[in-house]
Structure formats: C-alpha cells, structure tokens
Amino acid sequence: MSLARLLSRGQSGLESYVVTVEVHLSGGLPSFAITGLAATAVRESRDRVRAALQTSGYDFPVSRITAHLGPADVPKQGGRFDLAIALGVLRAHAGRAWATERLELLGELALNGELRPITGALPSVLAARRDGRAVVLPAANAREAALARDAEVYAAAHINEVVRHLDGIAPLARVEPSEPAPADETSPLDLADVRGQPFAKRALTVAAAGQHNLLMTGPPGSGKSMLAERLSGLLPPLPREDMLRVASIASVAGEPSAANPTQWPPFRAPHHTSSAAALVGGGGRPRPGEISLAHRGVLFLDELPEFGRDALEALREPLESGVARISRVREQIAFPAEFQLVAAMNPCPCGYRGDGTDRCKCSPWRLEQYAGRISGPLLDRFDLHIDVPRVSFDDIADPATPGESAAIRASVTRARERQIARAGKLNARLDARALWRVVTLDRAERALLKRAADRFGLSARGTLRVLKVARTIADLAASDGVAGEHLAEALQLRCRDRT
C-alpha cells in the first residue's frame, strides 16, 4: 500500500485554484477510480493515463488505484489533470523520490504519452507565480505562459521528458519570458479608407474618447462596417495588465490569440445568428462569450435587428456592470466584460428608406415591425446614435490622406488621460454621483438640457448619457467645463431621440 501526492491546478472562469492530486495503491481486484467531483473528461483520464504509461515504457500497476482530486466539493473539468495523475501512479508504484512540493503539473496526455495543450494555461501560470510555485505544462502552451514575467515555467512535449526532469537526468529548460507584439505607430486599418462621412467620423472620435456605445443607421454600402472596424485603431494601446487580462480570457476560451497577443484592443464581430450563450458566455462547461473576448475593446453587432431578441436583451446587464455572470448549480462564474458596443442597422427591411431614391417599398407595418425588434431599454443604452447617409461619387473619387487614425488616436489618448486623472475612469463608466461631480452646468446649459429632455422625451438614463457625451466632447476640446456647444453637439449625436 502506497500513497503519492502532487499538485495541479483547476480553472473556474478566470480564477485558477490549486488541486491536490492524491494517488493511492492498495491490494484487491485491479481497478482505477477518480474521485473529487470529476466531470466526464476527468474520469476518462483513467484510460488515457493507462495507455500513455504503457506506450511510454512504464509498468502499470496491477492493483486497486484511487486518484482523488481535492478539494472534493469543487467541480473539476477537462484533461489538465492527466499529467499529475500519471506521475502520481508512477510515484506510488515505484516509490520515486521526487521533490514536487513547489511544482504544479498541468497537461492532457495523448495515448502515446505526448502532452497536449490545455485551455487556461496563462491564468494558471499567473496564479502559480503568485503562490511562489513552478509549473510544468505542455510545450504547445509555452508561448502564452511566457507572457507571465518572473514565472518559473518548464515546457515538455512528452511525459518521458517530465520523468527525466524529476529524476534529475535531463532537466527541462526554463521558458524564457516574452513580450507581446508592440502596437505600431499606424493603425492596421486607417480611418482615411472611409471616404466622406465627416459627421460619422466625428461621432466615432467621440465614442473612442469616452468609451461610448454607438449605433449607426444607414443604407447598405454607406460605410457603417468600415467605420466600426476602424474604431479599435483609434483607441490607445492596452497597458500590460489589461493585455494580460485579455490574453487570459482568450486562453480560457481556447482562442489562438492567447499565444499571439498584441497591444491593440480586441475587436469582435459575431454573426447575427449567435445565441445568447455565444454572446454572454455559458455552456455545460462555462466559457467566456463574445462580450468577454471583447473586454477592453470593441464588440460590433452588424445587422442589429437580425440578432435574436433573447441574445440582445442578455447584453443589457453586462453593459451596465462590465461583468458577465454565469450561474450553475455548483458554481457561479464571473467573466470581465467591459466592452464598447458598436452596432449597425439598416433604416428599414430593404435598407433603402431615406437614401434619396424611390427604391424603398416598405409599408408602415413592416417599418414598425423592423424597428420593434430592438427594445427601448437596449436603445437607451447607446450613448450615440447617428445616421450614416449614402456616399456621393465625389466623396468616393476624392483621394485619401493616410494617417487619419493616428492623428485621431493622439487626441483620443489626451482626452482619456484627462478623464483618468480627473475621475479615475472613462466618462462612459461614471455613475450618476461621479458624473455630477465632474459636470457643472450654468443656468443656460441647464435650461438647454431641460428643453431637450422635455421635447425628445429623454429618460433619466438618456439624460445622463447626454451629459457623459458632452463631458467627453469638452475633454476633446481640452475644456475644463461643459459649455452650451458641447451639450448641443451631444444632443445632435442622438438622432433617434430627435425623430
């Protein structure tokens, strides 16, 4: 009878917790049991471990084997515990004297003993570094693990390499830390590619400066998608802490970008057939959705009315809180989701209403049905909504001047620095109390806002959003106070209220 104890690490959302893997060998009929609230993929580790050890040249014990994953009341998911269980079997069977008190083992085993990549490697390495332990993980995860500075990480391609490392025969090389690809001076997509549309470009600049949600309405081909795709290029590069957060979310979701992060804010554009779970996150094994993958970046919903009603309504709470909460019977998971929502839609089902031609034949009933696909509470969460008209031939033929995005990004960065220095957060994230501390209206400006609220029927949320946008416009102008022209422009950028 023998017992081996090793350390691994589980994943729950972005939180990574230590799992103690205990392997016990005893007499009796040969069997292999895994306990500790293990999911199906974890229980199937029995067959993977047996095959991997045998094909790698090790004797598999003919005895009663019990592998326990503690803590027992926390759900365990995935194949990340294979390596720790296999080494626990070897250690208990052969009595190997390995120094593993400061070592965490992660990796799924192929049947030939190779180590396959796992999801969530980066947050696991960051948590192990915080706890002062080293990590052994699959070589395929080495690139994302290298983003964690000062972490002691070893990468292996086969279980034999790990055994030789623990035996002291052939120590594994430590993974060298690396830095993400720096943001270039120029945006990969330049706003100069969009011809004409000066009003829409101004709205995009204001949205970028204050992280405001933007809705664009216009006929097909007017440039709505091109404008949205260039918004992330107007945003300043991500700080390292935010970049690691974004890469950790991608790592948990199994996205390839986790191994090749950049300092550019993420841009996500899901298809309109996406479900609520795909947007917000969920599933039997909860995974981050598109709103979390767009954390600190842009979520673009093209053809907004074509999205399912349930999917759109699920966005309302995360838009306010900046967090996507997923509840299950045994666990509650919270993924960060502080994203900037940009959406585009046609003015009518056929798309040509108000484009200066007589092509639109939509009846009033169809127009009402089309507009009714988007609820009032969701529309109220857009700080800006603008019309994007059809572009004339003269605008199309006008030569473009490269570098427009870089110039706007510089002014956006200055405006954001003013906001952070003043309130510690961007204007779109201010609550009502913080907003009134940074916005002081004179009698004339207060009267203007009151007239607009009464005439356009602005809700309390809509009125506050007008103030937030006006504060951002003032920041772009480097103004300490909010003047009448700033309020007037903020109201002009809410066309749906005026109509």
Where in the sequence of the chain do the CATH 3.30.230.10 domains occur?
A: 2-167
Q: Read off the pTM.
A: 0.91
**Which residues contact residue 446 at a Cβ distance below 8 angstroms, ignoring those fewer than 6 apart?**
none
Amino acid at 387: D
Question: What DSSP designation does 333 have?
Answer: E
Give me the pLDDT at residue 187, please.
Answer: 54
Helix, strand, or coil (residue 38): strand
Neighbours of 175 (CB within 10 A): 21
Question: pLDDT tens digit string along 400-439?
Answer: 677 888 899 999 999 999 999 999 999 999 999 999 999 9
CATH 3.40.50.300 fits 191-429, yes or no: yes
Where in the sequence of the chain do the CATH 3.40.50.300 domains occur?
A: 191-429
φ/ψ (deg, to 5) at 5: -130, 125
Give me the pLDDT at residue 194, please.
Answer: 85
Domain spanning 2-167 has what CATH number?
3.30.230.10
Q: List the chain pLDDT tens, one digit each, 499 residues.
A: 589 999 999 999 899 999 999 999 998 899 999 999 999 999 999 999 999 999 999 999 999 999 999 999 898 999 999 999 999 999 999 888 898 999 999 999 999 999 999 999 999 999 999 999 999 999 999 999 999 988 999 999 999 999 999 999 999 999 998 877 666 654 568 888 888 888 999 999 999 999 999 999 998 888 899 999 999 889 999 998 999 999 999 999 988 877 777 888 999 999 999 999 999 998 878 899 999 999 999 999 999 999 999 999 999 999 999 999 988 777 788 999 999 999 999 988 888 887 777 788 888 888 888 888 888 889 889 999 999 988 876 666 666 677 888 899 999 999 999 999 999 999 999 999 999 999 988 899 999 999 988 888 888 888 999 999 999 999 999 999 999 999 999 999 987 765 5
Which residue has tokens 């290029």? Answer: 233
Nearest to 226 by CA among 185, 256, 269, 266: 269
Give me the pLDDT at residue 269, please.
Answer: 96
Instruction: Annotate 306-363 with DSSP letters as a single string.
Output: GS-HHHHHTTHHHHHHSEEEEE-SS-EEEEE---EEEEEE-SSSSS-TTSSSS-----
Which residue has tokens 């009698």? Answer: 443
User: How far does Cα 357 stand from its chain's mean position?
Assistant: 41
Neighbours of 79 (CB within 10 A): 20
Question: pLDDT tens digit string along 326-376?
Answer: 887 777 889 999 999 999 999 888 888 877 777 888 888 888 888 888 888
Which pair of tokens denotes residue 327? 């509840």
**Which residues contact residue 229 at a Cβ distance below 8 angstroms, ignoring those fewer than 6 apart?**
189, 267, 269, 300
Which pair of tokens denotes residue 257? 């970008």
* Partners of 160 in the β-ladder: none
